Amino acid sequence: MTKTRQIIYAVVLNRAFLLFPLVLISLLVGSITADDLRFLLGHMDKHGYQRVIDNESTITILLIGFGAIMDGRKIFSKRLLESKNDPALEQHSALNATSEYYGFMLIVIGIAIEIVDQITRYLRTFNIDIMAFEAIFSLVFNVVALIVMLKAAYRIAAIDIEKHQL
């Protein structure tokens, strides 16, 4: 194994590679959600709803993007170790399973937010204005995403270092 490959292996397959962005994205989503909630409660009008809806695309991109990274960790570790039977791969099995599960959940939440966004855009073409529903739905799913991300961070942080890390 080359030195570059060893560095990549040490960095990408480390728990901190998942934990740091997970906590950072949780803080960002939490901050945006709290700001949207404060703004929405202060301005229960079309402008308030539109601000929440505009922020939802940022959160959707973050959820789907990082969910794909978490979900793909198992595949990446198999490719990096070049063998599905490598004993070092067993060390990462619990972290891979946890990462894959919570990554999939983030992708599903992000896609659900986007589906509702597309449906409401379609309904707006018929002059059906359901911006309040979309804004509230977005806030609810942002809170669900925060709970999933914080639970994932806790589970990843709680994995025993000796069993699952180099």
pLDDT digits (tens, 9 = 90+) for 90-122: 667 888 889 999 999 999 999 999 998 899 888
Find out whether 145 and 106 touch, Cβ atoms under 8 Å: yes
Range of the domain at 116: 3-164
Which residue in 122, 113, 77 sits closest to 95, CA to CA? 77
Flag whether pLDDT at 131 surpasses 70.
yes
Give this prediction's pTM.
0.83
Mean pLDDT (whole number) for 136-159:
91
Q: How many domains does the chain have?
A: 1
d(CA 4, CA 52): 44
For residues 65 and 84, the model is more confident at 65
3-state SS of 42-95 is HCCCHHHHHHHHHHHHHHHHHHHHHHHHHHCHHHHHHHHHCCCCCHHHHHCHHH
